[in-house]
Structure 1
């Protein structure tokens, strides 16, 4: 199966052909996928070199001229390194762009910690007005990318990953999707965490919600799910643990509830390893998730099968 990032250049090439407002801004990474697109649209496919602050600044400048810029590089170089430009050039100037990242939390362990960005979504949470898509399958990535480009002048972050669920689901860029219904708790699986969550909760009497878009947070879907399944909530996210616990708490602010946030731990892993080894070390493999989710639900006093 191809990866989410494999879809990026072909989809963007078609969008460049279809929409004269679309522009792509690169910082070396991914440029080979745009050779033909750059030949056809030399004024709208721009490689600024390894200059990540300029990458975001150039995208903002294009937005000020009325274009719809799509800005791409690794997450650590797209959100963390040029954060001041994301905050000021886009946010303060109130212009939109589509930031499309690769490498996610630890997709390329051999690159070391400089190429990892488990805090990217949490960092964007400090800013106003961002839509954040976290697809769990290449088909979802393609659909959400198209929606992001078509989203007027909004500020959108699309988080691509080599981690993927076995099958894609229909996504609308807004709402959580109910995958399984139960009565003893709610588990929200974000993006590529869904397959592990389904395996971890097999036989447990819980509702599983799937989120491919996490900002805005679909608090209404969470509230509806808790009406039948109770207000014990577990969030399983492929980035920094606890990133969405405040959003879940806000959705349930007027009812007693418990929230457990599972994700990438703050402790830095100083060995390269593999993606699967990082998942296990952070407790995000199916076996670890079952133990942690089961323990949390048992502590509530609710009966479990």
Structure 2
């Protein structure tokens, strides 16, 4: 646990390394929460979510415990370690467990704000931290709320977390609305409904395609929607390469975002 070695040294009575035993780590944290503490768990996404799914369901969600889980290595951040260290399904998995919150900040500043807003709210909350944050756009955010970055009329871009830089570059001169989401559960339906003047939606999400599709339909009921995606495809990633090579291969790029946005703008409703 080199990433928190300084914390382990500074707070030996408040921090411990459980080791590669994530399911037990969740159960330990559940016991602490039952005694009134507010535990924080740190690890990498696939082991925190896929290895411990039963503990998340029974120890945390079922008992309605206030525990914070901070996961690094989102999607393909650990590109060189192969499929065992990938977790593009994290958002979809957690959002299917009722009562569990999911936060995906796009920068260190946003993480601190969202964490401080929510860590004592009595809910189980997952924080998806990426090694590739936005560097050009870092708007103020609020837990549970989407940010309206830009208003337009021809289409609505729903962008999540670290894809904001790419979306802003792609759409800077397009007549579109851009809604920036860092809290994915609970989902802000109100902002979506108030800022979707067209029925054309482009979802840009740095995880599996379709992870927010249910929320888009729920937030815009009784509409005939035209929806496009820029996201990782729902497949097993068997290719190798750097993070940037994977992003380019799966087309999570400004060029593809612009192409999809222009397609929606030009398409007949």
Q: What's the TM-score, normalizing by structure 2?
A: 0.94
Query: Does the Cα contact within 8 Å between 2:187 and 2:215 map onto a contact in 1?
Result: yes
Query: Does the Cα contact within 8 Å between 2:158 and 2:204 map onto a contact in 1?
Result: yes
Query: Does the Cα contact within 8 Å between 1:242 and 1:262 map onto a contact in 2?
Result: no
Shift of 1:77: 0.7
From 118, 132, 141, the equivalent of 1:163 is 132
Is 1:259 the counterpart of 2:232? The answer is no
Is 1:35 the counterpart of 2:4? The answer is no
Aligned residue pairs: how many?
A: 268
In the other structure, the counterpart of 2:55 is: 85
In the other structure, the counterpart of 1:199 is: 169
From 94, 99, 106, the equivalent of 1:129 is 99
Query: Does the Cα contact within 8 Å between 1:121 and 1:243 map onto a contact in 2?
Result: yes
Query: Does the Cα contact within 8 Å between 2:202 and 2:260 map onto a contact in 1?
Result: no
In the other structure, the counterpart of 2:209 is: 241
Shift of 1:275: 1.2
- Residue segments in structure 2 that go unaligned for 5+ positions in a row: none
Is 1:114 the counterpart of 2:78? The answer is no
In the other structure, the counterpart of 2:260 is: 292
In the other structure, the counterpart of 1:283 is: 251
Deviations along 1:166-215, one digit per CA (max 9) or x if unpaired, are 24211111111111111101001111110101112232211111111111
Query: Does the Cα contact within 8 Å between 2:230 and 2:256 map onto a contact in 1?
Result: no
Query: Does the Cα contact within 8 Å between 1:245 and 1:260 map onto a contact in 2?
Result: no
Query: Does the Cα contact within 8 Å between 2:66 and 2:120 map onto a contact in 1?
Result: no
In the other structure, the counterpart of 1:76 is: 46
Structure-2 separation of matches of 1:175 and 1:31:
30
From 132, 149, 153, the equivalent of 1:183 is 153
Structure-1 separation of matches of 2:30 and 2:210:
30
Shift of 1:45: 1.1
From 11, 29, 39, the equivalent of 1:59 is 29
Structure-2 separation of matches of 1:31 and 1:221:
37
**1:178 aligned counterpart, secondary structure:** strand
**1:30 aligned counterpart, secondary structure:** helix
Structure-1 separation of matches of 2:6 and 2:256:
38
**2:16 aligned counterpart, secondary structure:** strand
Q: Which moved more, 1:100-109 or 1:199-208?
A: 199-208
In the other structure, the counterpart of 1:4 is: none
Q: What's the TM-score, normalizing by structure 1?
A: 0.84
Structure-1 separation of matches of 2:74 and 2:23:
19
Q: Which moved more, 1:137-146 or 1:72-81?
A: 137-146
- Residue segments in structure 1 that go unaligned for 5+ positions in a row: 1-27
